[in-house]
Chain A
């Protein structure tokens, strides 16, 4: 039996309330690290397990790999995929728009754990206005990742690509 949700936040947990500068959440999932990593390593699949994401579309440009996230509120977030390190089981990305951020780094790491795997989702950001928003969303996302990997349940907002685009299946 996997340990229950162990989402923690804060580099400074003993302070009053939830003080932190960056976002860090963890969750132990009752599935092997390879199983979990196979989902995390596919950035185009993030909307399947991130509640509130409708779609996640990858695009290769001359400047790198970019991803456009459609959110359930009707907006979008543009991100650059910085790296998919299969050896370290680490996925890194940064938000590049539409809002301006002086600094952003998102990192998802999957490591083996006696109960399955430990997933660590971290974000660094400046300015701080999105700190709380991302923290709450990341907590939901880890639950969503567990639901997808362990139970096969996709996130509540995800729209399958065929439905989302209205494209017909090719011959």
Chain B
């Protein structure tokens, strides 16, 4: 009997984006249905909260220090082992459609194979699989970029190339321009028709590839939607779905300025310094935008845009699943849905992401709908798991022994199985060294209902500070327990667990080759 894996990722999506996770705005019936008949994970964490390191972990099953991609702009080495390569070597058909980002985006001299493929329209490296994928068609955040979607738009819809928000400004820094009704950064009214927006294009390309496969092929299809990552510019035609003025402010947004700033001051210095516009740590958030200027209405408008984008993703996924079902593949199809990292979307009075290890960025949606033929009962797993566990899970599904170079372990499918795992703790790391002069290093362990983050010495921290959050008592993460004398033993235990989990830092760290 053949096996099939549909691996669905979004980009920068919050845990509460989905109805099955308590989301109350976007309608996500397709993913909710997968969760209802599969396994829903309540605490899935990334190993890094920006795209490239997190995606490298998904592809390799390795922690950050082992695959080496410690920040955006650091390319995954060309010879890095990948789960797609394992599957392809075992005879599986392998394809990736949408956002890959295993190599930097900003690449005027076309130094990286994925960008060369995007510009030339090639779907592999001269007939050879790229990183284990025999077919790759890329999309990014908009109509531009060195991706297949950009070429397709230029060829067929040149009149809409300028309809999208330009992610970079004239200095090639992340664009801080505001738009929409509220002037929120990275928001734009986009006149592009829904049918040619990148969400549907990604699904279309995957469907086309699947239709070319034989009925009895084993296949691994990574369906990688670029949304709801900023810029927030869904098609205008869809804005009626979620009128921003009707939205409540999110629970995580302290609308009182004094309360908001007092809460930030209980955290590490980098929180308040970024909020005040005094710190740039990376090229992910616009350097010229000051979070303290964020208004409640801007939070509402950004939220509405993200919810709309999430609905479009759910519908595109539904369309692909319909195709798969029509091919008779439903009973043998495993579907895993997740994202690479989260988004503040107003929590703590902030937008975007950065060196902040809290639920906004770390608690991710993760659903595994096992193949119905596997007979796995629906379940909810509350214990922490990591994206590092995805690649080993794919190996398990494929009947391939999990190789030694993978750090994760197959995902548990029941609470009992979760309780018996050897390593229940999950590791998340952040290292940033910005050419403007800032340097931030965080290491976090999630275990036993606690999230504990140690700050290493850098330009913001002396190396003795940190954060510790009680997830049950303080879900909004407002009370930092790091310096609580009554929790000192617990903190020491968690830091010891962190040290046990952390791989050695590589002797020769990989170089940053682009800002993103």
Contacts and interface: CB of A to CB of B under 8 A. Distances in A.
Contact of A52 (B110, B437, B458, B511): B110
A100 B168 CA distance: 12
Contact of B172 (A50, A72, A99, A136): A99
Contacts of A161: none
Contacts, number: 100
Size category of the B interface is: 35 or more
A132 B435 contact: yes
Given A15-B433, A20-B435, A132 B515 contact: yes
B513 A52 contact: no
Nearest to A7: B511
B170 to A, nearest CB: 5
Given A99-B170, A100-B171, A133 B108 contact: yes
Contact of A73 (B115, B435, B441, B509): B115
Of A15, A74, A133, the most chain B CB neighbours within 10 A belong to A133
Size category of the A interface is: 20 to 34
Of A50, A73, A130, A131, the most chain B CB neighbours within 10 A belong to A73
Given A17-B70, A129-B173, A72 B433 contact: no
Interface string A59-86: 0000000000001111101000000000
Given A17-B433, A21-B435, A52-B109, A132 B512 contact: yes
Given A17-B70, A18-B511, A136-B511, A71 B110 contact: yes
A74 B108 CA distance: 8
A71 B171 contact: no
Interface in B446-465: 458
B275 to A, nearest CB: 21
Contacts of B434: 128
A140 interface: yes
Given A73-B119, A74-B119, A128 B435 contact: yes
B106 A16 contact: no
A129 B70 contact: no
A51 B108 contact: no
Interface of B: 70, 73, 104, 106-111, 115-116, 119, 146, 168, 170-173, 283, 287, 431, 433-437, 439, 441, 458, 509, 511-515
Nearest 7 pairs of A and B residues by beta carbon: A52-B109, A72-B110, A136-B513, A128-B435, A129-B172, A131-B435, A129-B173
